[in-house]
């Protein structure tokens, strides 16, 4: 009986460990081992050995895009719901948004990523795949014309939608490399089912869709490429899960209410930019690094830029482990516990954000460290040109940004006092052919 009990305990423990290590892959066969090995090589190639050069590059482009703005006039014209001509208020949007032929030159978007996800091209150069069917009924042999059929193809694809649609994913949507999901020109919702899984792949763009009310998938046999399907365990219900992947750009998404996180990036994922997104009504918003023991997350480098953290959010905007995180020109108008947190000595550079604290006097601090002060006082968490309102404050630690090895080349961030303009057009845009978005 004792041996049976120990054996049963081992099986339960193994069932818990496998999802944690391999993100819900129940059968870790030769295909997945090969896919992981290739992804790790790509992660190494995507890692930036001089991350301050990346932060500098982004700040330079923000300043350049805002040159010539009359901020008083612009602020007045954008104060109410904007109905005028296209205005791009940050450098990513300025790269493509006000071009009236966007629908004829969708690939232009792939030239516009900044931050650590710069160079992500998704399906650029591939065929246009038009999603015509919102169903998701066959996990092993997905129907042509469905989103699931599109994302598993081997070749680069730029995936668009022939009309507005609500898609309920019966199981997690497992993407292959070199894909763009482009919701421009339609009102696309992924809702009521599982979310998007970006696992052991590279070069993914997800743009202009709404992901909300996601739930855990039950698991089972799911196709993950044209030539392979396998058994998956229960997924955790993230809106977007990035696992062991690189060169990922999430832009102009609306994210709200998920069973677990809105965006999780774990298991050494790197070269990621999250920009122009709108997050609301959720507890654990962004998780970057899931384990204090997984030191490969030291390669994790993520840019969080031009986003609005809005109503009903509680914590983790983001919550970081190990890596390097540039949090720049975001608007934090709501949190209930804290905004930015972490453990295991992450570098967090907060620049040009606006932080508006909640009324609760116990939640005024922007930051939360999960370690004693004797440990975290050496962590490099810095704030520069941030704006603090309603009693908000950022507890800095480590060496000032001005003392970093690249101090002579540093470009100061754009001020948080104007961040409401930079983030004015977050979330999916209304894009009509023949007009700027």
Question: Catalytic residue numbers?
Answer: 316
Tokens encoding 117: 């996800």
Which is nearest to 301 in space by CA: 117, 91, 120? 117
For residue 413, the tally of other CB atoms under 10 A from its CB is: 24
For 155-168, give one letter per residue: b (16+ CB within 10 A) or e.
ebbbbbbeeebebb
Angstrom distance (rounded) from CA 375 to CA 379: 8
For residue 28, the tally of other CB atoms under 10 A from its CB is: 14
Which is nearest to 217 in space by CA: 257, 259, 253? 259
Cβ-contact 171, 221 below 8 angstroms: no
Angstrom distance (rounded) from CA 321 to CA 316: 12
Cβ-contact 226, 182 below 8 angstroms: no
For residue 303, the cross-strand partners are 273, 326
Tokens encoding 172: 């997690």
The angle at the Cα of 368, spanning 364 to 373, to the nearest 5 degrees, equals 115
CA 286 to mean position of chain CA atoms: 8
Q: What is the DSSP string of 296-346?
A: GGGG-EEEEES-EE-TTEEE-SSEEESSEEEEES-EE---SS-SEEEESS-
For residue 213, the cross-strand partners are none
Angstrom distance (rounded) from CA 221 to CA 231: 4
Matching residue, tokens 């009924």:
137
DSSP assignment letter at 351? E
DSSP assignment letter at 405? T
For residue 59, the tally of other CB atoms under 10 A from its CB is: 25
**Phi and psi torsions of 210, nearest 5°:** -110, 125
Residue 45, CA distances (Å) to 38, 48, 171, 269 in order: 11, 8, 31, 12
Matching residue, tokens 């052919």:
433
């Amino acid at each position: 009986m004792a041996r049976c009990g120990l054996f049963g305990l081992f099986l339960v423990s193994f069932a818990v460990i496998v999802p944690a290590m391999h993100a819900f892959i129940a059968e870790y066969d030769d295909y997945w081992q090969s896919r992981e090995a290739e992804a790790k090589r790509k992660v190494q190639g995507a890692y930036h050995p001089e991350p301050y050069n990346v932060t500098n590059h982004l700040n330079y482009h923000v300043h350049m895009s805002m040159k010539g703005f009359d901020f008083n006039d612009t602020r007045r014209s954008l104060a109410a719901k904007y109905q005028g001509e296209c205005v791009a208020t940050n450098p990513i949007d300025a790269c493509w948004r006000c071009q009236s032929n966007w629908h004829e030159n969708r690939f232009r978007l792939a030239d516009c990523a900044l931050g650590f996800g710069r160079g992500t091209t998704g399906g650029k150069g591939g065929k246009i795949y038009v999603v015509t069917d919102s169903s998701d009924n066959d996990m092993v042999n997905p129907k042509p014309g469905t989103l699931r059929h599109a994302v598993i193809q081997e070749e680069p694809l730029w995936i668009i939608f022939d009309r507005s649609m609500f898609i309920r994913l019966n199981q997690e949507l497992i993407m292959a490399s070199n894909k763009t999901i482009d919701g421009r020109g339609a009102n696309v919702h992924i809702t009521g089912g599982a979310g998007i899984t970006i696992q052991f792949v590279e070069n993914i763009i997800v743009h202009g869709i709404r992901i909300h009310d996601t739930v855990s998938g039950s698991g089972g046999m799911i196709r993950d490429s044209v030539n392979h399907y396998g058994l998956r365990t229960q997924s955790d219900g993230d809106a977007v899960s990035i696992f062991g992947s690189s060169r990922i750009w999430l832009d102009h998404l609306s994210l709200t209410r998920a069973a677990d996180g809105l965006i999780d990036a774990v298991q050494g994922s790197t070269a990621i930019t999250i920009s122009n997104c709108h997050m609301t009504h959720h507890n654990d918003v962004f998780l970057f690094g899931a384990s204090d023991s997984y030191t490969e997350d030291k390669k994790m480098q993520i840019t969080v830029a031009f986003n609005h953290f809005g109503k009903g959010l509680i914590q983790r905007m983001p919550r970081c482990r190990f890596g390097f995180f540039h949090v720049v020109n975001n608007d934090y108008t709501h949190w209930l516990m804290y905004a930015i947190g972490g453990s295991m000595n992450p570098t967090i550079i907060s620049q040009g954000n606006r932080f508006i604290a909640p009324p609760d006097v116990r939640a005024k601090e922007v930051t939360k460290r999960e370690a004693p002060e004797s440990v975290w006082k050496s962590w490099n968490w810095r704030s520069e040109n941030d704006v603090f309102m309603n009693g908000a404050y950022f507890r800095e630690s480590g060496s000032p940004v001005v003392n970093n090895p690249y101090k002579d080349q540093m470009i100061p961030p754009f001020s948080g006092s104007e961040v409401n303009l930079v983030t004015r057009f977050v979330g999916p845009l209304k894009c009509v052919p023949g007009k700027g978005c």
